[in-house]
Amino acid sequence: MNLGGVIPERTSAQARVRGGNRRDVLQLVHSGHGTATRAGVARATGLTSATVSSIVAELVEAGLVEHAGRADSTGGKPATSLRVRTDAVVLGAMIVRRHSIRTAVLDLEGNLLTELPRLQSATVMTVDDMRAALIGLVDAAELPLLGIGIDLPGALSDGVIIKSIQLQMHNVPLTELLADLAPCPLHLINDAHADALREYSLDPPDDETLFSLSLGAGVGGAVILGGAPHSGPRSLAGEIGHVRVDFSDDAPQCICGRYGCLERLVALPRLLDLDDDRLVDSDNASAFDLPDSARTARASQLMARALIMVCATVDARTVVINGAAPKLGPAFLSALQTNCDALSPIGTEPLKLRYATGAVELPFRGAAEHVLRQTLGINWSH
């Protein structure tokens, strides 16, 4: 498949405009799910019919768009409807956690085509483990891979794991170390940011702003502003796990070496007093038993303080609790909502908290959408 004409190099202002127009057209065709027409796209974008027809021809030639039959007639000759092809290329997704790696293949609509067996280990996952998982993923793809999204905890930049406390990695050029196994681009995304992308695409708030708190073996956060992920230059925007929240003399030491971090106090292995943090990576348990009420109350208070500060900074009203946290059940969410309500600044709307809806059913959607955004410039939230 030749994508050179679809994703142009930004060599001039004209090329940037043309590239933006292509993305707008492809987004409308994608969002139409078989109902888009050239005339409708022209009206929605303000582009001329000739420009739209030219761009559609390029997308058809590239194998991304196809004709989907006749549209409903509104008088005169029925228009030809358009849709994104789901039988030309696929998306790869890899979810790397401290003790497990999951991989899957999805189509351009986000439908799961293949999920491979989970790779698990009693020790922390390594680059060699990721290479083994990647080999299986590439072999499982029956169509050309547009790209592979790798969802993992830590600070990331340009394919490098700058720092991952969970994976015990520092300045690891991961995409470089995996590139020889992949027939397509590799795109790293922080786990909390992948969670946020997934939830935003499934249920975008009216103000297009969202904060996602990922709670599992660690604690992470991510921000969606104006419908777009705001990750910052090191993919750390919203990361509150290693912000100190306990300043007492007996604050517990965190895995990062500091004392009183939010993650040390509220991550699920600590909150639930688990002897084995691999249980947090597991899908076997349908629910967790809440700890004693005092510990739950303390954890919800600390999380509420952190959420209020972050959401006040970015003016987010919607908070999605991601990761394994939904297994804690409604009582924990209610306690967290109560604490957030009590701490809401004067003159502001209360935060609206909810558990993630796709964490269990659609775990690969965030990493796959990251590929879609990075390669084609489109997304599933429109």
- Least Cα distance to 310 among 155, 156, 192, 166 occurs for 192
- Regarding whether 128 and 56 lie in a shared domain, the answer is no
Per the listing, tokens 């999204």 go with 149
Please check whether residue 8 lies inside any domain of the structure: no
Element (H, E) at 160: strand 160-164
pLDDT of residue 317: 94
Output the pLDDT for position 316: 93
Q: Are residues 76 and 96 in the same domain?
A: no
Q: Is residue 4 part of a domain?
A: no
Residue 227 confidence (pLDDT): 86
Are both 285 and 345 inside the same structural domain? yes
Instruction: Give the domain CATH number at 121.
Output: 3.30.420.40
In whole angstroms, give the CA distance from residue 156 to residue 172. 10
Give one DSSP letter per residue of 209-243, joined into a string. Answer: -EEEEEESSSEEEEEEETTEEE-TTTT-TT--TTS
- Does 339 share its domain with 262? yes
Query: 207 and 166: one domain?
Result: no
DSSP 109: T
End residue of a domain, out of 57, 84, 111: 84
Q: What is the pTM of this model?
A: 0.86
29 and 141 assigned to the same domain: no
Determine the pLDDT at residue 294.
80
Q: How many residues does the chain have?
A: 382
- Does one domain contain both 317 and 278? yes
216 in the same domain as 158:
no
Tokens 């590929």, residue located: 371
Instruction: With beta carbons less than 8 A apart as the criterion, state whether 321 and 271 touch.
Output: no
Of residues 201 and 149, more confidence is placed in 149
Q: 190-247 pLDDT, tens per residue?
A: 999 999 999 999 988 888 899 999 988 889 999 999 888 888 876 778 889 999 999 9
Q: Which two tokens stand for residue 166?
A: 């969970």
Rounded Cα distance between 279 and 216, Å, is 10
45 and 107 in a single domain? The answer is: no
Mean pLDDT of 351-364: 90
379 φ, ψ (degrees, to nearest 5) = -150, 175
Domain-embedded: residue 1: no
In a shared domain, residues 232 and 327: yes
79 with 96, same domain: the answer is no
Q: Do 47 and 169 fall within a single domain?
A: no
Full domain range(s) for residue 121: 90-195+363-375
